[in-house]
Amino acid sequence: MLFSSSIRQLILLTLVCWLLTAAATPLAYAHSASKTVLVLGDSLSAEYGLVRGQGWVSLLEKKLANANITATIINASISGETTSGGKTRLPALVDRIKPDIVIIELGGNDALRGLSLSASEENFRAMITTAKKANAAVVLIGMKIPPNYGKDYTQRFFSLYASLAKEQKVLLVPFLLDGIADREDLFQADRIHPIASAHPLILNNVWPQLAPLLSK
């Protein structure tokens, strides 16, 4: 009887250990499935002229929470940021945050200042390389500028995004303000920055490219 009791205790202990391990497994899996998303953008992502919480990045956080998708969104966007500034800031951000996904929403300020497209292209390429070296997926967000900057410049600027996305094999949102740019009622008085009601539309433009990365 003494021997049998010891065996029963051993079996019971083994069973308890197995149950504890099994119970912990889903939690570990859920944690490993969680993603950290870094948004590196300019005023269009930094809620310029808006009440905090109305921009598309904030709306993304709310969308994920409502869908019970575990993710951490870090908005490192700065109004007035250029691709040069983004290239300079990204390495430290990546080292500190260790993102799984990097969204690059830059270039508009380069073009509005008439900066060299070749320099912008190299800055984008450097940012993409930095993100890839950190094993982060990249979503590149395209932008357009008004035609008064000259047909050749505006076309070359816009095509730069698709060309880089193809070359670097990264996901592309063709145009952040698709369905918005031609509607004056969706812009602030400066005709550059969208009003709050436009930001759900902006998120709708980004979401199709971002969603598959969050589910991987």
Supply the residues annotated as catalytic. Answer: 43, 190, 193
Same domain membership, residue 109 and residue 7 = no
Q: Where are the alpha helices (DSSP H) in 1-70?
A: 2-33, 56-66
* Distance separating alpha carbons of residues 74 and 60, to the nearest angstrom: 11
Residues of the chain whose pLDDT is less than 70? 1-33
- CATH number, domain containing residue 197: 3.40.50.1110
8 shares its domain with 95: no
> Left, alpha or beta for 42 (phi > 0: left; psi -120 to 50: alpha)?
beta
Element (H, E) at 112: helix 108-112
pLDDT of amino acid 5: 55
Cβ atoms < 10 Å from Cβ of 163: 14
pLDDT, one tens digit per residue, over 114-143 is: 999 999 999 999 999 999 999 999 999 999
Task: Give the separation between CA 62 and CA 55, rounded to whole angstroms.
Answer: 11
Is the same domain home to 27 and 48?
no
Q: Are residues 27 and 2 in the same domain?
A: yes
Note the pLDDT of residue 6: 52
Burial class of residue 117 (count of CB atoms within 10 Å of its CB; 0-12, 13-18, 19+): middle
> What residue numbers bound the domain in which 3 lies?
1-33
Which pLDDT value is given to residue 112? 92
pLDDT value at residue 107: 98
Shared-domain flag, residues 23 and 42: no
Q: In this predicted structure, what is the pLDDT of residue 165?
A: 98
Q: Give residue for tokens 């005709």.
A: 191
**Number of separate domains in the chain:** 2
**pTM, to two decimals:** 0.85
pLDDT digits (tens, 9 = 90+) for 55-80: 999 999 999 999 999 999 999 999 99
Residues 27 and 119 in one domain: no
Task: Look up residue 140 and give its two tokens.
Answer: 């590149």
Q: What is the DSSP letter of 197?
A: G
Query: What's the CA gap between 135 and 116, in Å, rounded?
Result: 29
Q: What is the pLDDT of residue 9?
A: 54
Residue 125's pLDDT is what? 98
Please indicate, yes or no, whether residues 159 and 106 belong to a single structural domain of this protein.
yes
Do 42 and 8 belong together in one domain?
no
The verdict on 118 and 161 lying in the same domain is: yes
- The pLDDT value given to residue 146: 85
Residue with tokens 């889903």: 26
Q: Tell me how long the chain is.
A: 216
Q: Are 147 and 88 contained in the same domain?
A: yes
The gap between the terminal CA atoms of the chain, to the nearest Å, is: 54
* Whether residues 46 and 87 fall in one domain: yes
